[in-house]
Amino acid sequence: MSRTKIKDLLNATDFGQQVIVKGWVRTFRNNQFIAINDGSTLNNIQAVVDFASTDEALLKRVTTGAAVSVTGELVESLGKGQRVEIKVTELEILGDSDAEKYPLQPKKHSLEFLREIAHLRFRTNTFNAVFKIRHALAFAVHKFFNDKGFVYMHTPIITGSDAEGAGEMFRVTTIDFDSVPRNEDGTVNYKEDFFGKSTNLTVSGQLEGELAAMAFGEVYTFGPTFRAENSNTTRHLAEFWMIEPEMAFYDIHDNMDLAEELLKYVIRYALDNCSDELEFLKNRLLEEEKQKAQNERSELDLIAKLNFCLENNFERLTYTEAINILKSSKPNQKKQFKYLIDDWGADLQSEHERYLVEKHFKKPVILTDYPAAIKSFYMRRNDGDVSGKETVRAMDILFPGIGEIVGGSQREERLDVLQKRMEDLHIPVGEMDWYLDTRRFGSAPHSGFGLGFERLVLFVTGMTNIRDVIPFPRTPKNAEF
């Protein structure tokens, strides 16, 4: 007889069948009722042991966190809260769990506490729900692009270039084997010449994606990216996953259409395939809101928020239009913003982005045509800029509660313009000859964008800290697990 997953038993109707269930004990009540969870569903199954006929020493080992295997008859439950239960005939402890030491108790733990035990937090319902949704969203991303004929490209993790030109990179070094096991003073030496040049962990797969797009037409990457920005916020990670499609012959409007379609598709997919998990997280949020003071922010119902996002077109406007709205906005006039908007050219902070999305338009927003000075070197320069106001065909998508979720652009396809721009910014043109070859041989208009995967998971799960939507977060001063 083989093991059945709890998910497949909860709605079963063929009572009387013999089943084997394996999982971890959530609670054990009255020396009789074991609540077992095996990760296949948020719900536990109740296994009822006959304590009179069960070895007492064995029962003592049924503790929260222990791994168990139970065999027995599936019966209709007379108790409240469950349809079915297992009348246990055989109980086996697969792995003990010391009740005194096991950090997860059958009560609600704070997210801060659970972050400190990230290696065990998978076993809670909240993280079961979050990471199931994360999985579903990743799957939906691949399905979306696959169905459209995009080719999934694996771009390198170790690179010699800085795709964003922002200099926020982690250097790659090797341990000098001559100094191993240790120098006399206990240190080891590091070398940077493994590749014969200095290398870093990639900040974006875009540049390599562009090369592939110039052959396949439509490609995407979906991989880890690394940024050494010293931002200790609830929206930044040092290691995050990014989805980066790159498409030949797309202009910025095609780019915006694709990004909006992708976002709506994956949100729809989560709603259709993760209803139990979303319902659980929605209720969790509502509970939390109830406990907060009345005057604190009141979150919309999570599922209503997701549906709202699907039913409305994202608002599209230029950076210049946004600056005008922000300039005359109440928080700007009353000096409530931390950074006041007084001139064209200012970089938007997340407080401004969130004002536009949450207060002004009250829906997702796509901002385009940013000042060239605050955007990356590869973005397509707009022709006919008013003097002093040089703009590029950038597009950022801003989401409620999140701020920037997507950053992208039409790319500069003209060799001379691109080369001049790189020289002006002191980007080593010689080292990036491979990139410029795309503009030398059959250059074509093309576009792409990057969707921050954790920011997407944040939005869909309604969680508020990015550390809670990636299994093992890396942030400044924190890479424990």
Residues that bind ligand 4AD (CB under 6 A): 163-164, 204, 206, 227, 229, 236-237, 240, 242, 244, 404-408, 448-450, 452, 454-455
Rg value, the chain, Cα: 27
Helices (H), 50-196: 56-60, 111-116, 125-147
Can you name the residues that pair with 244 across neighbouring β-strands?
A: 221
Choose among ligand 4AD, Mg ion, none what residue 455 binds, the Cβ cut-off being 5 to 8 Å by kind.
Answer: ligand 4AD
Distance CA 426, CA 165 (A): 10
Q: Are 447 and 411 in contact (CB under 8 A)?
A: yes
Minimum distance from residue 206 beta carbon to ligand 4AD (Å): 4
Which one, 205 or 407, has the nearer CB to Mg ion?
Answer: 407
Minimum distance from residue 211 beta carbon to Mg ion (Å): 21
Which one, 65 or 448, has the nearer CB to ligand 4AD?
Answer: 448
Distance CA 213, CA 217 (A): 5
Distance CA 412, CA 308 (A): 35
DSSP 222: E
Minimum distance from residue 238 beta carbon to ligand 4AD (Å): 7
Which one, 222 or 240, has the nearer CB to ligand 4AD?
Answer: 240
- Residues whose CB is less than 8 angstroms from the CB of residue 90 and which lie 6 or more positions away in sequence, other chains included: 69, 70, 71, 72
Structure tokens at 391: 């703009």
Distance CA 397, CA 260 (A): 9
Count of helix runs (H) and strand runs (E) in the chain = 14, 18
Choose among Mg ion, ligand 4AD, none what residue 446 binds, the Cβ cut-off being 5 to 8 Å by kind.
Answer: none
396 to 435, contacts with Mg ion by CB under 5 A? 407
Distance CA 152, CA 375 (A): 26
- Residues whose CB is less than 8 angstroms from the CB of residue 39 and which lie 6 or more positions away in sequence, other chains included: 23, 122, 128
Minimum distance from residue 163 beta carbon to ligand 4AD (Å): 6
Choose among ligand 4AD, Mg ion, none what residue 445 binds, the Cβ cut-off being 5 to 8 Å by kind.
Answer: none
The residue of the chain with the least Cβ separation from Mg ion equals: 407
Choose among Mg ion, ligand 4AD, none what residue 448 binds, the Cβ cut-off being 5 to 8 Å by kind.
Answer: ligand 4AD
Which one, 274 or 405, has the nearer CB to ligand 4AD?
Answer: 405
Distance CA 422, CA 418 (A): 6
Q: Which of 53, 137, 35 is nearest to 89 (CA)?
A: 53
Choose among ligand 4AD, Mg ion, none what residue 437 binds, the Cβ cut-off being 5 to 8 Å by kind.
Answer: none
Determine the Cα angle at 273 with ends 306 and 119, to 5°. Answer: 90
DSSP 471: S
Choose among ligand 4AD, Mg ion, none what residue 364 binds, the Cβ cut-off being 5 to 8 Å by kind.
Answer: none
Which one, 268 or 381, has the nearer CB to Mg ion?
Answer: 381
Which one, 136 or 405, has the nearer CB to ligand 4AD?
Answer: 405
Which one, 371 or 448, has the nearer CB to ligand 4AD?
Answer: 448
Which one, 38 or 413, has the nearer CB to ligand 4AD?
Answer: 413
Minimum distance from residue 324 beta carbon to ligand 4AD (Å): 23
Minimum distance from residue 312 beta carbon to ligand 4AD (Å): 20
Minimum distance from residue 227 beta carbon to ligand 4AD (Å): 5
Cα–Cα distances in Å, from 466 out to 47, 111, 133, 220? Answer: 36, 12, 14, 23
Choose among Mg ion, ligand 4AD, none what residue 412 binds, the Cβ cut-off being 5 to 8 Å by kind.
Answer: none
Minimum distance from residue 469 beta carbon to ligand 4AD (Å): 10
Can you name the residues that pair with 127 across neighbouring β-strands?
A: none
Q: Are 244 and 218 in contact (CB under 8 A)?
A: no
Minimum distance from residue 407 beta carbon to Mg ion (Å): 3
Minimum distance from residue 237 beta carbon to ligand 4AD (Å): 4
Choose among Mg ion, ligand 4AD, none what residue 163 binds, the Cβ cut-off being 5 to 8 Å by kind.
Answer: ligand 4AD
Choose among ligand 4AD, Mg ion, none what residue 452 binds, the Cβ cut-off being 5 to 8 Å by kind.
Answer: ligand 4AD
- Residues whose CB is less than 8 angstroms from the CB of residue 132 and which lie 6 or more positions away in sequence, other chains included: 274, 277
Which one, 48 or 405, has the nearer CB to ligand 4AD?
Answer: 405
Which one, 165 or 331, has the nearer CB to ligand 4AD?
Answer: 165
Q: Which residue type is seen at 443?
A: S
Residues in contact with Mg ion by the rule CB under 5 A: 407
